[in-house]
């Protein structure tokens, strides 16, 4: 149980385009999902916390207009990188918490974004 999927696993796009990444909890309802990015050999960096039906809470320094997050249902959250630039190239990972009263996070497999 507690499986989280992410799609796509890898994406290459041109500078200036927008990219949407989907995160799904497959066998549980996730009231809260999290979006992280990770640069090579660096630690996880939390970008935002996404709660179903409400606006995402962004971490300091993360541009909410550039990284659009939508958590439309208890099993789906999306991250859209708008007007992508080469510096947005990174490994984006989502996670989902499996209940309101637990802090256990299960991670998706990640999406590797390359912006040319």
Binding site for other proteins (CB under 8 A): 32, 43-44, 46, 49, 91, 93, 95, 100-110
**Nearer Cβ to other proteins (84/94):** 94
Contact 97, 108 (CB under 8 A): no
**Nearer Cβ to other proteins (4/115):** 4
Euclidean distance between CA atoms 27 and 4, whole angstroms: 8
Euclidean distance between CA atoms 110 and 5, whole angstroms: 8
**Nearer Cβ to other proteins (76/82):** 76
Looking only at the bridges linking them, the beta strands covering 57-58 and 32-38 are unpaired
CB of 93: closest distance to other proteins in angstroms? Answer: 5
């Amino acid at each position: 149980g507690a499986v989280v999927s992410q799609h796509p696993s890898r994406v290459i796009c041109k500078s200036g385009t927008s990219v949407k990444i989907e995160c799904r909890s497959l066998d549980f309802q996730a009231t809260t999902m999290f979006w992280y990015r990770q640069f090579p050999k660096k630690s996880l960096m939390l970008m935002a916390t996404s709660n179903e039906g409400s606006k995402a809470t962004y971490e300091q320094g993360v541009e909410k207009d550039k990284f659009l997050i939508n958590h439309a249902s208890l099993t789906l959250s999306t991250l859209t990188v708008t007007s992508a630039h080469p510096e947005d190239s990174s490994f984006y990972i989502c996670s989902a918490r499996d209940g309101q009263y637990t802090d256990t996070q299960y991670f998706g497999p990640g999406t590797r974004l390359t912006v040319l």
